[in-house]
Amino acid sequence: MNYDVFYEFLNYQKLEKRLNNILNNKQNKFKVIKHDPIGYTSCNFPIEHFSIGHGSKHIIYFAGVHGNEIIGVDFVTTLMHNLALGKEDFKSFKESVYTIHFLPLINPEGFYTTTYALTSITDSFNNEELENFCYKYFLSYKNDDILIKNMNDLLKDICKRINILDHSEDIINNFWHYFRNYEIINKNNIINFFKLYEIDKEILENFLDELILKYFKSSLIKLSKEHQNIFKNITLDVIPQINENHQLLKEKLLDIYKNNDFPISTLANFYANSNGVNLNDNNLYYYEIFKNRLTKEKEIYAKGRENNILISIKSPLGMPNYDMHEPFTYEKENLALLNFFDSLKNNYYLSFNCHGTGGLLYTYPIYNKEFDNEPIALKYVNKINEIYKNILNEDITYNIMPKGKLITGMGDVLREKYPRAYLLELSKMGGNPIGPYGDLTNYKLTMIANMTSLMNIL
Ligand SMILES: [Zn+2]
């Protein structure tokens, strides 16, 4: 299929360049309009707004809510480029029926932080080197997940043998906190840790060697996170001082990192905005959940592969509010987004909130049966699966997610009010920010399948 697909990380300059090229492309079949920004961030970066078409059915594509999910911004701009040119299926786009709005970057601060860090390393790479680098990251990301699972299983096994299985969850949390700055540990470290629970050395000596070997095939356990270590030599110097916005961004980042609470490598995987707020978590539902947790636990660390990163203070992963002791407030980025949705009134038709990895479309919770979220969602993912099957002869099962337990994200907040407010997890490959770039074939298919599927539902 003859779509244009780029293969690069978009830092500030590169994104500006890509957007200007799209806007001024003499070959465009459909006119691209640049509007006033829908708002500005706390560092005064504009949240840009473009549109194609002039019909009464309004569709919104937005991306980059999580600064580290770089493939979303890449996809929305690639879609803009190909739609404007009327490539392939876009030839039959009905510009008098639809208006498609593009908000390619909701969280400029998190995205520029991540992409400046990334491009400081990858700028000299050719495509093959870039693919290898990203694939290496993709694998280390997977390995880190396995390591954590094995360690947790080992701890549970220990708890079972000494009859304190009821406390295993607490013990696991404390373990990762206790050892967060350790690269490698051995049996003696574990024995010392269990002294905190008044467990005798002699009891553990009976079986610990054997257990460690069982889970790690070695007497040493490597705890450091490979997917973070890849970026351990990055510094805040990667943020160039282009203008006042950049200066402000750098100052605010310096403030977040000043006490060495976080590995500096997180600059390359920066979810939050410069206030240290996670824009997806920045909603009243999650604020309440998090506040309840904070009354029980003094410090909260992220789970899983980022379990060495504190999230109860402003952090690269981000909190639900700029200050958890203060009442809930939307960040400027979210206010701008909510106001923009409101401004469309009855002309709103559907929206895609483009995130990074998972390969699925969130349609839950369905508050209102009349919203009719499912049929279009099914049509969308079925087309994606058909394309993957045709090209790769692989069943990738891009799914819809109709059910969930908790309402926790900004995507859910939008879905409460608007029909067909889909959250699209783009890549089937894991590993934000750069895992999805670790296989060029898969990357291209992600782009092409999602572009084609749009035309399948219009
Ligand atoms: Zn996300």
* Residue for token pair 């002791």: 325
Q: What is the pLDDT of residues 45-60, one digit of tens each?
A: 999 999 999 999 999 9
Report the separation in Å between the CA atom of 68 and the middle of ligand 1, taken as the mean of its atom positions.
8
**Helix (H/G/I), strand (E/B), else coil: 409:** coil
Under the banding of pLDDT at 50, 70 and 90, the label for residue 299 is confident
Average pLDDT, the chain: 94
Contact indicator for 334, 282 with CB cutoff of 8 Å: yes
pTM for the full model? 0.95
Paired with 86 in beta bridges are none
Q: For residue 27, what is the DSSP state?
A: T
Q: What are phi and psi of 285, to 5 degrees?
A: -60, -55
Mean pLDDT of 157-162: 94
**DSSP-derived secondary structure letter, 328:** P
User: Is residue 62 a contact partner of residue 76, using CB atoms and an 8 Å limit?
Assistant: yes
The full set of domains in the chain, from first to last, is 12-113+331-457 (3.40.630.10)
Q: 164 vs 102, which has greater pLDDT?
A: 102
Distance (angstroms) between ligand 1 centre and the Cα of 414 equals: 15
**Ligand 1 center–CA 163 separation, angstroms:** 39
**Which 8-state DSSP code applies to residue 229?**
H
Residue 278 Cα to ligand 1 midpoint, Å, equals 10
pLDDT given at position 365: 67
Tell me if residue 93 falls in helix, strand or coil. coil
pLDDT band at 453 (very low <50, low <70, confident <90, very high): very high
Cα atoms found within 13 Å of the Cα of residue 83, Cβ hemisphere only: 31
- Per-residue pLDDT tens for 165-196? 888 998 998 999 899 889 999 999 999 999 99
Distance (angstroms) between ligand 1 centre and the Cα of 74 equals 14
In angstroms, the CA 443 to CA 428 distance is: 9
What is the 355 CA–ligand 1 centroid distance (Å)? 5
What residues are paired with 354 via a beta bridge?
63, 424
Q: How far is CA 239 from CA 111, 171, 182, 253, 369, in A?
A: 12, 39, 29, 10, 47
Q: Report CA(363)–ligand 1 centroid distance (Å).
A: 15
| Region 25-40 average pLDDT | 98
| pLDDT value of residue 256 | 97
**Does the structure show a pLDDT above 70 at 439?**
yes
363: confidence class by pLDDT, cuts 50, 70, 90: confident
Q: Of 164-168, 316-320, 435-439, which range is least confident?
A: 164-168
Going from the Cα of 32 to the center of ligand 1, the distance in angstroms, rounded, reads: 27
Q: What's the pLDDT band for 367 if we cut at 50, 70, 90? A: low
Secondary structure E strands in 294-444: 348-357, 360-362, 399-401, 421-427
Phi, psi of 226 (to 5 degrees): -60, -40
Distance 454 CA to ligand 1 centre (A): 20
Q: What pLDDT sits at residue 380?
A: 94
Q: How many helices (H) and strands (E) does the chain have?
A: 15, 12
Residue 317 CA to ligand 1 center (angstroms) comes to 11
Q: What pLDDT is attached to residue 405?
A: 63
